[in-house]
A and B are shown apart, each in its own frame.
Chain A
Amino acid sequence: DIQLTQSPSFLSASVGDRVTITCRASQGISSFLAWYQQKPGKAPNLLIYAASTLQSGVPSRFSGSGSGTEFTLTISSLQPEDFATYYCQQLNSYPPITFGQGTRLDIK
């Protein structure tokens, strides 16, 4: 199975900051990657698919990039509602679906 490793696992930032989360795949997955946001007590929410396509309704401050084995999720200017945990998911070789271990984004 393809393994996904996110970095960092924990991130502390302030409102207005630009933040980047990285997801590395154990083998090339072209652009078959999605990103999710999960807030405490809630189901995950799809942010980006195909590495860089913004899901309908997701604010434009979120963006994704990358291909092959290295991908990034960028939030251009953090808003209070963005403090959450973020997961990447590979879509190249599925099933099985695999997720990264998550990146928790906290308020500094």
Chain B
Amino acid sequence: QVQLVQSGAEVKKPGSSVKVSCKASGGTFSTYSISWVRQAPAQGLEWVGRITPISNIVNYAQKFQGRVTVTADKSTTTAYMELSSLRPEDTAIYYCARDHGSGQLDFWGQGTLVTISS
């Protein structure tokens, strides 16, 4: 059983950066991908990006290109998502999720609330 545990809530100022972690246990970290999905208050789900740790191949939603960096540390089975040049509209819950390989996200972290406020 895969478990994903994310880092705690963050409050950031506009223009700064935030880095959220996602610690995986169970399963074999290198054999699947980790996607990041965000959800603004009372809004739907929005895919941010993905990493495949075995190859370190990353893919990003075009909307976030240039502002997001997704990395993974195989030694600690932890994935990271860093978002820079933060704006108030980046306020959201950020989830990591296991991408089973065909795109469906079958295990999710508990979510990390990132609040952007001056």
Give the interface of A toward B (CB within 8 A): 1, 32, 34, 36, 38, 43-46, 49-50, 55, 87, 89, 91, 94-102
**19 A/B residue pairs, CB under 8 Å, sorted by A:** A32-B103, A34-B103, A36-B45, A36-B105, A43-B111, A44-B108, A49-B102, A55-B106, A94-B103, A95-B49, A95-B59, A95-B60, A96-B47, A96-B61, A96-B62, A98-B47, A99-B46, A100-B44, A102-B45
For residue A100, which residues in chain B have a CB less than 8 angstroms away from its CB? 44
In the complex, the answer to whether B103 meets A87 with C-beta atoms within 8 Å is no
How far apart are the CA atoms of A24 and B54 in the complex, in Å? 34
In the complex, the answer to whether B45 meets A87 with C-beta atoms within 8 Å is yes
How far apart are the CA atoms of A98 and B104 in the complex, in Å? 11
For residue B29, which residues in chain A have a CB less than 8 angstroms away from its CB? none
For residue A102, which residues in chain B have a CB less than 8 angstroms away from its CB? 44-45
How far apart are the CA atoms of A97 and B78 in the complex, in Å? 22
How far apart are the CA atoms of A36 and B45 in the complex, in Å? 11
The answer to whether B53 has its CB under 8 Å from any CB of chain A is no
How far apart are the CA atoms of A49 and B100 in the complex, in Å? 11
How far apart are the CA atoms of A55 and B108 in the complex, in Å? 14
